[in-house]
Amino acid sequence: MKKRIAIFASGSGTNAQNIIRYFKSSPVGEVVLVLSNKRHAKVLERAENEDIKSLYFDKADLYSEKGVLRTLEKTRVDLIVLAGFLLKFPEIILNKYPNKVINIHPALLPAYGGKGMYGKHVHEAVINNGETQSGITIHYVNEAYDEGAIIFQACTDISVEDTPESLAEKIHILEYEHFPQVIEQLITSEENG
């Protein structure tokens, strides 16, 4: 039986769409729900275009036992994927889904993580510090921003010509290439574990 995946995103949703499309042909999992804390986030439109149920929620719903948590339970979600989700994830959901919530971060954690470190803020910090490499980190989510156990990392070189925008493009390539496959490997190893 396929594992049921919910994706949380706050913005455009290109990673979410990539994951949705990948799992349309996967024998082990399927995306059943996309949720966003932004009413007009492009990710909700992308989900609807892919025939995936989408849901907007406000902050109160996220932290309430009767809100988002109840929706996840009713939808029988097995795995939660954060793909550009910017709010701190609530403990009430983490407690119900231990080691079942994962996130992708656009840098090589533990460097360049924590509150306020997302998207262009990360790439600007990496460039300004003269780093020669950056990358992605896929990790479990815990109570602290970007501090959960690391599942997977991939690197890209940074050239002296790179800007935050060109680095973001390199990071997106890594995200699209690796995120769906790592999710699938997690599901498969869990079933065989």
99 is in an annotated binding site: no
Q: How far apart are CA 123 and CA 129, in angstroms?
A: 10
Number of helices (H) and strands (E), helices first, in the chain? Answer: 7, 7
Which neighbouring-strand residues pair with 81? 7, 102
Which CATH number is 3-192 given? 3.40.50.170
The pLDDT of 3-10, averaged and rounded, is 97
Percent of the chain at pLDDT exceeding 70: 99
| Residue reference for tokens 């706050």 | 10
First vs last C-alpha separation in the chain: 16
Considering the entire predicted model, what is its pTM? 0.96
15 is in an annotated binding site: yes
Q: For the segment 162-185, what is each residue's pLDDT rounded down to a tens digit?
A: 999 999 999 999 999 999 999 999
Residue-level pLDDT at 193: 63
User: Using 50, 70 and 90 to split pLDDT, how confident is the model at 131?
Assistant: very high
Q: How far apart are CA 14 and CA 17, in angstroms?
A: 5
Q: For the segment 132-147, what is each residue's pLDDT rounded down to a tens digit?
A: 999 999 999 999 889 9
User: Is 105 among the residues known to form the active site?
Assistant: yes
Q: Is the pLDDT of residue 13 over 70?
A: yes
113 is in an annotated binding site: no
Residue among 105, 123, 139, 178 flagged as catalytic: 105
14 is in an annotated binding site: yes
Mean pLDDT of the chain: 95
Residue-level pLDDT at 44: 97
